[in-house]
Copies of this chain bind each other. A is one copy, B any other.
Amino acid sequence: MKKTIKNKIINDPIYGIITLKKGIILELINNPLFQRLRRISQLGLSYLVYPGAHHTRFHHAIGAMHLMQNSINEIKNKGHIITKEEEESLLIAILLHDIGHGPFSHALENSLVKVSHEKLSVIMMEELNYQFSGKLTLSIEIFKNLYSKRFLHQLVSSQLDMDRLDYLRRDSFYTGVTEGNIGTERIIKMFDVVNDNLVVEEKGIYSIEKFLIARRLMYWQVYLHKTVISFEYTLIKILQRARYLVQQNIKIYSSKSIIKFLNKDFTIDDIQENKNMIHEFGEIDDHDIYFCIKEWVKERDYILSSLSKRIILRKPLKIIISENKIEKQFVEKIKKETQKKLKINKEELEYLVFTHSVSNKTYTHNENKINIITKDGVIKDIAESSDQFDVKTLTKIVNKHFICFP
């Protein structure tokens, strides 16, 4: 009988033990749309550079929920009211915040369908709300920032949300890039709420600076690592080529689950109009893509097979990164040499030699800025509060340009 109130616990290498609350939380976790996140890697192809990075969106979502619970406890301890219903809705909102991710997470975002993962998350949350008879309504409101208590949304989505607190720490842990580690526990202990805004106590200022710098470090050392970029753009090119061949009626291997998405470029409207679509999209995970790529290695089309081999045998395209735009002349030279060597046409060349840019902004002055509260109760933007460490420079967008070629 006592057993009936028992929650489930799971082991997390980072936080130790995480409690999964009985009831709707556990039911959502057991839902097929959520279980599929077990088969979607958090960091796409980063494991080809950091062999430990095989953790999943599933694990990240559970971890972020754990941090949310800690934050809720802290804020309540500081004397603020969060109702039972709000608490549960917060846990659900963060649990499902990434549910719209498709295979390889960001690496293939906007590639399989032309829709961002956030929008897909909302659609899936609405589908789950339907399945759960409206019990997710408040969660969705909080997620969309439509709920009156604004700080609840900030816990789910802001520059200091549970998403970031978990992913930075988790990605740091699994890649072994220990410098990216952040003191989530200390940051959470410094949380407070003032005027319906999530704020950080002044003595936490160094932890926030550390958090920003760790985030920046993870961007350049992991997320935008040049070999990772090379592989992820290769993956995108593979899907583009497959789509091209399919649409040209050139027969290539394709699983039933994926062929539909190669045949047509779906938009958000397509998905919203046809409820089946979201389930069909939800059936695709990393394994489907890997399986196709492994098959495509053996295809006759040189572009498709040679790019696929690069993933499977870990042979990255060369990549040159520069702070300036890659000079046109240089690009032309590379293209000419490649075309000559491989005897391919101009159109095929676009899959093997291409330029692009990536960018990162560590901190943004916007309405979701990070607020520091001083001992005197004054609230300041972190970018104004730091004495020495120039947070302002972190608001600068850094662009890096690159060219990939065989």
Footprint of B on A, CB under 8 Å? Answer: 2, 5-6, 9-14, 16-17, 30, 32, 35, 38-39, 47-52, 54-56, 58-59, 62, 78-79, 173-179, 181-183, 185-186, 189, 206-207, 209-210, 213-214, 216-217, 220-221, 255-257, 283, 286-288, 290-291, 294-295, 312-314, 323, 360, 362, 387-390, 393-394, 396, 398
With A178-B181, A209-B213, A213-B389 given, name 4 new contacts (CB 8 A).
A11-B175, A13-B173, A32-B313, A209-B216
A-B pairs with lowest CB-CB distance, top 6: A390-B393, A11-B176, A13-B176, A54-B54, A287-B290, A291-B291
Instruction: State which of B30, B217, B294 has its C-beta within 8 Å of the C-beta of A206.
Output: B217
Across-interface contacts of A214 in B (CB, < 8 A):
210
For the complex, what is the distance from the CA of A56 to the CA of B396, rounded to whole Å? 39
Known: A17-B186, A313-B32. A56 touches B62 (CB 8 A): no
Across-interface contacts of A288 in B (CB, < 8 A):
291, 294
Across-interface contacts of A360 in B (CB, < 8 A):
388
Instruction: State which of B35, B62, B79, B174 has its C-beta within 8 Å of the C-beta of A2.
Output: B79
For the complex, what is the distance from the CA of A39 to the CA of B286, rounded to whole Å? 11
Report yes or no: B189 in contact with A17, Cβ–Cβ below 8 A.
yes
State the number of copies, please: 4
Report yes or no: B11 in contact with A177, Cβ–Cβ below 8 A.
yes
Report yes or no: B213 in contact with A176, Cβ–Cβ below 8 A.
no
Nearest B residue to A207 by beta-carbon distance? B179
For the complex, what is the distance from the CA of A64 to the CA of B11, rounded to whole Å? 23
Interface CB pairs A-B, < 8 A, 25: A2-B79, A5-B78, A9-B189, A10-B51, A12-B176, A13-B176, A16-B186, A17-B186, A35-B314, A38-B47, A51-B56, A51-B62, A54-B56, A177-B183, A179-B182, A179-B183, A179-B186, A181-B181, A206-B217, A206-B220, A209-B217, A213-B213, A255-B291, A255-B295, A283-B294
Chain B proximity of A138: nearest CB distance (Å): 25
For the complex, what is the distance from the CA of A366 to the CA of B55, rounded to whole Å? 39
For the complex, what is the distance from the CA of A182 to the CA of B189, rounded to whole Å? 22
Nearest B residue to A170 by beta-carbon distance? B52
Chain B proximity of A360: nearest CB distance (Å): 8
Which of A54, A189, A221, A313 has the most B CB atoms < 10 Å from its CB? A54
Across-interface contacts of A216 in B (CB, < 8 A):
206, 209, 388-389
Which of A6, A13, A62 has the most B CB atoms < 10 Å from its CB? A13
Nearest B residue to A283 by beta-carbon distance? B294
Report yes or no: B387 in contact with A390, Cβ–Cβ below 8 A.
no
Across-interface contacts of A388 in B (CB, < 8 A):
216, 360, 362, 393-394, 396, 398
Report yes or no: B59 in contact with A52, Cβ–Cβ below 8 A.
yes
Across-interface contacts of A323 in B (CB, < 8 A):
387
For the complex, what is the distance from the CA of A358 to the CA of B313, rounded to whole Å? 37
For the complex, what is the distance from the CA of A389 to the CA of B212, rounded to whole Å? 10
Instruction: State which of B13, B178, B185, B390 has its C-beta within 8 Å of the C-beta of A183.
Output: B178
Which of A6, A12, A178 has the most B CB atoms < 10 Å from its CB? A178
Instruction: State which of B62, B312, B387 has its C-beta within 8 Å of the C-beta of A398.
Output: B387
Instruction: State which of B11, B39, B52 has its C-beta within 8 Å of the C-beta of A50.
Output: B11
Known: A206-B217, A210-B179. A185 touches B50 (CB 8 A): no
Chain B proximity of A325: nearest CB distance (Å): 15
Across-interface contacts of A59 in B (CB, < 8 A):
51-52
